[in-house]
Structure 1
Amino acid sequence: MTASPASPLYRLLGYATPWRRRIQLASLCSILNKVFDLAPPLLIGAAVDIVVQREQSWFASIGVVSLDAQLLLLTILTILIWGLESAFEYAYKVMWRNLSQELQHATRMDAWKHLQELEMAYFERNHTGQIMAVLNDDVNQLERFLDGGANELIQVTTTVIVIGAIFFAASPLIAVLAMLPMPLVVYGAFRFQHRLAPLYADVRERVSQLSGRLANSLGGIATVKSYVAESFEVRQLETESNAYKTANAAAIRTSSAFVPVIRMVILMGFTATLFLGGKLTLDGHLDVGIYSVLVFLTQRLLWPLTGLAETVDLYQRAMASTKRIMDLLDTPIGIQSGGQPLNIHHGGGTIEFQKVRFEYLDGQRVLHDLDFTIAAGQTIGVVGATGSGKSTLVKLMLRFYDPSAGTIRVEGRDLREVQLKELRHAVGLVSQDVFLFGGTVRDNIAYGTFDATDEAIEAAARMAEAHEFISELAQGYDTMVGERGQRLSGGQRQRLSIARAILKNPPILILDEATSAVDNETEAAIQRSLERVAHDRTTVVIAHRLSTVRNADRILVLERGRLVEQGTHQALLDRDGVYAGLWKVQTGDRHAAGIQTSCMDRGD
């Protein structure tokens, strides 16, 4: 099991450098445990030697002539060796298990921290289920190997070396014949490892797909039920589960063949020891005690080597998982933070788009040479048909993506040059797609402002017109909202999201379709709270409902990624262009509907 620079084992050893001393100490305990574990056959040989040779035994040759003294010394050695073997077994188990837990925790946390730094494009390219499989199943697979497999590999190697040395010391001829199958065993282990590697890589991929299907189906359980698609989802999961089962079956067939093959190879060495050793003993060329030691040691060699198959299997599963973990940790961070402070205060927050173009990796152009300035403290509306690029503006202002060309500046600073955390601290986002975390109402309002007092949380809720409905909940602010806030209505979730942004108190506020999914009464309440929140802030309102932005200082009209109009609500109506057409459609002018409906239906 070599470790080339590109191999998962090499990468794992590099990652585990901080634990190197502890790994070495645990390995030493594993080696010493196995050395003392192999000593009892020597004691049995010594006992046979005492009974057969009596005053001419090996003990007598070192000065212990009395048979009683020889037996007493043998007893003391037995107690000592068994005690040391037990002590080192305890030590290596504690060390390896603690190491496995610490490395499991460290890899999961490092992978999670690295994920937090990755750009949004990474999460759009990779399914949630695949990421979850790495963080859970792959990390756990690595832990299982470190918990037992690493020790097994060390002890098998120790067994071969120690027994080989004893054989060569006792009888070089028998040693050569007994150890002759060893190269075949090693070769077989490498061959099986080579064949298992792609099989277990396929197994890990199938686990990811299975996890992805489960996460996707559970996330859309309301849609599944409303479309009576339970049977369809069961069939889809059955397909993924069968693919996982089939991939595992291929790996099982290969790994299961290892033990019978290795057993027959080892049998060659065992029979050579029995036959040749017995003949040499009968001819008087080998002591009876030595012969018994060799027979017992051959047995002790047999079982660890047949168990090598399971260890190789565990190792290969762990390496497949390690590769996926290391690949995640090695994923480059596409959006790097700049080094300059931003230092925006309330009343500031000028935003400039200078010849900004943006296209996704597939080459799809979304924005075309946008040029506009939002003055500090202004409220700007951004409108346009679906697919015009409104939501992309939000992603660029928060620097979820960088422009393909052009520059975005805040307070005169290029976003790529400022500290990323400072930028995002300065921007509050209220999105149409509200995400609430499992926890209480209080926890969700204070998310991101974790040191907020109860008084500040309640004040933010009052400003968001959320305090009244919160007070009517069973436990008030301590009410659990359920996964993704499912115990609350859409309007309630939206108002908690606004309260969260209010508590953050950012100088720049972005409202991305914040009222598009609520009823008229809730929209009116949200609009009132947003008007209060927008005071003394630079506010960007992305809206589909034009009534939301009619009072904005200026409205930007996008069409297919281009800025086609800008001005106040009345000025745009007087211009009788794209905005006026959208307004007529939304206010019920059916004549305009025929002209503008196609514009409204374009995909974003």
Structure 2
Amino acid sequence: MPTVLDSRAPRSADPVSDADRPLRALWRRYTVYRARLILAFTFSVINKVADVMPELLIGAAVDVVVRGDQSFVADVLGVESRYAQLGWLAVINVVVWLVESGSEYLAEVLWRNLAQGIKHDLRMEAYDHVQHLDLSWHESRSSGSTLAILNDDVNQLERFLDVGAPAIIQTALNVILVGGVFAIASTQLLVLAFLPIPVIIVGSLIFQRRLEPLYARVREAVADLSAALSANLAGIATIKAFTAENHEYARISKASLAYRQANSNAIRTAAAFVPLVRVAILTGFTCTLLLGGWATLNGTLEVGMYSVLVFMTQRLLWPLTEVAEVLDLYQRGRASAARLLRLLDEPVIVRQGHASLNRPVAGGLELRGVRAGYADGPDVLKGIDMVIPGGETHAVVGSTGAGKSTLLRLVLRFSDPRSGQVLFDGRDVRDLDWDSLRGSMGYVAQDVFMFAGSIAENIAYGRPTATRAEIEHAARAAAAWEFIEALPDGLDSWVGERGVTLSGGQRQRLALARALLRQPAILVLDEATSAVDNETEAAIQQSLRVATADCTALVVAHRLSTVRHAHRIWVLDAGQIVEFGTHDELVAANGAYAALWRVQTGMLATD
């Protein structure tokens, strides 16, 4: 779960501003890391101070050799012997190197752990938020683009926090500390040595503006590529069946080349920055070398200080050659953070209520004047009125596009009606928390999803505390035990990703067992036996009649033989209920249901 804030809570009142200033938004968001950030910064400061000291010690050593008992070291330590002065410098040097090594280790550990912690929390917060986003949001975008944000973007941000942020801090500290030394030694040399820095800063800002849209395109390209790869791997059987390997290779190659080109454009622009920095460095170093040397020859600058300034110029300017790389990391991290924050700012429309159902749950359902549709499209359901008493089995049938799946979405509250109410035990489902609503239901989707794991784990997915005996009982009720028992490892047999090691009928039976194991008050079945043969269907129907004796069942089916024993059958056509009744009543009425029955059986039947 998120460390600092609930990912389902309302976001910033101005989400665009967070996306425009992503790193500042992360500072506000993850307050728990501020102390660690300050500690890491402190050790970076100590490390940089110790890192600058060797140049000063070199200058002091040169001063000792040249001036002897008149040296700076002799004045400070009160030691006249040059050998003793150099000995003291050696001791100080050892202490400095120990401090530098220790502070570098601590700073690196702190920065890396900070990056890993934020990476973990941000990924989990984003994933938790994605889980609670509406089903319609997931259906409107590719899973690959979401995966790219949760994986690649989080990694890019972690790389910036791990490498880029410490480098920025070290560079800034380097400029400040070296500037202090130059200010003490010579104001003229300070100005000349620092003259290239404004050029580099202005160049950095220009390149930053140019890089920002380039890296935004890189992120878009990698999202497109991830989406295409994810979709193709999921549909590999279809690709093979239609011998579309060459076509898909060309399509993925096009997406990969687009990603490559987007990266190349960004790299080409970032790389052009390095020559500019080198020219600026050459200017500053040459000024220090010549003017400092002349001042030393004229006797206005000590030899030791001249040595310090020459080394310090290198110390000041050469790290700036890495500004392009740091800028590259910054832009990638900033673009990734912006995408993550935009994802976190996606609103959750269908939010759980706060009311709970009375126990035991009776399982009564009612739809009152329900109108529903998708996005800005026309109504799919048009004024549906339906009453399903607790403990009864009701079926919804109709031709393709009649609105059956839309009705189930409303019952499960994957979406809300445009008008009207869906009631569960007399309570509007919008007022109920998820535990009362979905926790009281067992659901078998038309497109069954299996997780990578054992058969037992898949059956117990909705009730992890179930015993082996309860899992076996549910498998028997779903007519799945026979094929499970025939497997080498039985319930412990491994189910591949998405259940690819199982047939469609086997997956449906396991999904049904998973739903029955929850002992739901309402069992919702969406074409739950469409992938099984007639013999298995008959076995499942017999088991269901026993399993649903104490619960409500809402069944959507195309195959009418699966619902002929329902207490009531509701017939949908073009989003409206055109008739309802028992199987025999509807066949006798010779209406829409009877027509569907004749199409499937070629005759009228009463039982």
Match of 2:428 among 380, 399, 414: 414
Q: Which residue of 2 aligns with 1:526?
A: 540
Q: Which residue of 1 aligns with 2:313?
A: 298
- 1:85-130 deviations in whole A, cap 9, x for unaligned? 1111111111111112212111111111111211101111221101
Match of 1:508 among 522, 526, 531: 522
Question: What SS is found at the alignment partner of 1:307?
Answer: helix
Residue 112 (1) aligns with residue 115 (2)? no
Q: Which residue of 1 aligns with 2:148?
A: 133
Q: Which residue of 2 aligns with 1:562?
A: 576
Residues in 1 aligned to 2:309 and 2:344: alpha-carbon distance in whole angstroms: 49
Residue 428 (1) aligns with residue 452 (2)? no
- 1:526-555 deviations in whole A, cap 9, x for unaligned? 222222222121111101111111111111
Residue 244 (1) aligns with residue 259 (2)? yes
Match of 2:394 among 346, 361, 380: 380
Residue 75 (1) aligns with residue 93 (2)? no
Match of 2:336 among 321, 332, 337: 321
Moved over 4 A (4+): none
Letter in 1 for 2:210: R
Match of 2:224 among 177, 184, 209: 209
Match of 2:270 among 255, 274, 287: 255
Residues in 2 aligned to 1:338 and 1:134: alpha-carbon distance in whole angstroms: 29
Q: Which residue of 2 aligns with 1:489?
A: 503
Residues in 2 aligned to 1:212 and 1:341: alpha-carbon distance in whole angstroms: 39
Q: How high is the TM-score relative to the length of structure 2?
A: 0.95
Q: Which residue of 1 aligns with 2:595?
A: 581
Q: Which residue of 2 aligns with 1:102?
A: 117
Q: Which residue of 2 aligns with 1:270?
A: 285
Residue 50 (1) aligns with residue 64 (2)? yes
- C-alpha contact (below 8 Å) 1:432/1:517 kept by paired residues: no
Residue 446 (1) aligns with residue 475 (2)? no
- 1:257-306 deviations in whole A, cap 9, x for unaligned? 11111111222211111111111111111111111111101111222101
Question: What SS is found at the alignment partner of 1:446?
Answer: helix
Change (3 A) 1:4 1:311: farther
Residues in 1 aligned to 2:495 and 2:263: alpha-carbon distance in whole angstroms: 40
Match of 1:459 among 463, 473, 495: 473
Q: Which residue of 2 aligns with 1:85?
A: 100
- C-alpha contact (below 8 Å) 1:344/1:411 kept by paired residues: no
Letter in 2 for 1:208: A
Letter in 1 for 2:371: R
Q: Which residue of 2 aligns with 1:397?
A: 411
Residues in 2 aligned to 1:337 and 1:4: alpha-carbon distance in whole angstroms: 28
Residues in 2 aligned to 1:560 and 1:301: alpha-carbon distance in whole angstroms: 75
Residues in 1 aligned to 2:473 and 2:572: alpha-carbon distance in whole angstroms: 36
- C-alpha contact (below 8 Å) 1:344/1:507 kept by paired residues: no
- C-alpha contact (below 8 Å) 1:344/1:426 kept by paired residues: no
- 1:507-543 deviations in whole A, cap 9, x for unaligned? 1011111112222222222222222222121111101
- C-alpha contact (below 8 Å) 1:380/1:541 kept by paired residues: yes
- 1:56-75 deviations in whole A, cap 9, x for unaligned? 11112222322222112111
Question: What SS is found at the alignment partner of 1:381?
Answer: strand
Letter in 1 for 2:566: A
Q: Which residue of 1 aligns with 2:137?
A: 122
Structure 1 residue 373: deviation in Å? 0.9
Letter in 1 for 2:130: L
Residues in 1 aligned to 2:563 and 2:73: alpha-carbon distance in whole angstroms: 100
Q: Which residue of 2 aligns with 1:549?
A: 563
Residues in 2 aligned to 1:182 and 1:573: alpha-carbon distance in whole angstroms: 88
Q: How high is the TM-score relative to the length of structure 1?
A: 0.95
Residue 472 (1) aligns with residue 486 (2)? yes
Question: What SS is found at the alignment partner of 1:38?
Answer: helix
Question: What SS is found at the alignment partner of 1:132?
Answer: helix
Q: Which moved more, 1:569-578 or 1:481-490?
A: 569-578
Residues in 2 aligned to 1:190 and 1:398: alpha-carbon distance in whole angstroms: 52
Q: Which runs of 5+ in 1 are unaligned?
A: 591-604
Question: What SS is found at the alignment partner of 1:551?
Answer: coil
Structure 1 residue 344: deviation in Å? 5.0
Letter in 1 for 2:327: V
Residue 40 (1) aligns with residue 54 (2)? yes
Q: Which runs of 5+ in 2 are unaligned?
A: 1-15
Residues in 2 aligned to 1:579 and 1:21: alpha-carbon distance in whole angstroms: 69
Residue 345 (1) aligns with residue 360 (2)? yes
Q: Which moved more, 1:97-106 or 1:60-69?
A: 60-69
Residues in 1 aligned to 2:212 and 2:397: alpha-carbon distance in whole angstroms: 53
- C-alpha contact (below 8 Å) 1:46/1:58 kept by paired residues: yes
Q: Which moved more, 1:149-158 or 1:136-145?
A: 136-145
Instruction: Among all aligned residue pairs of Structure 1 and Structure 2, give the percentage whose two residues are the same amino acid.
Output: 52
Q: Which moved more, 1:334-343 or 1:62-71?
A: 62-71
Residues in 2 aligned to 1:192 and 1:397: alpha-carbon distance in whole angstroms: 54
Q: Which residue of 2 aligns with 1:593?
A: none
Structure 1 residue 4: deviation in Å? 7.5
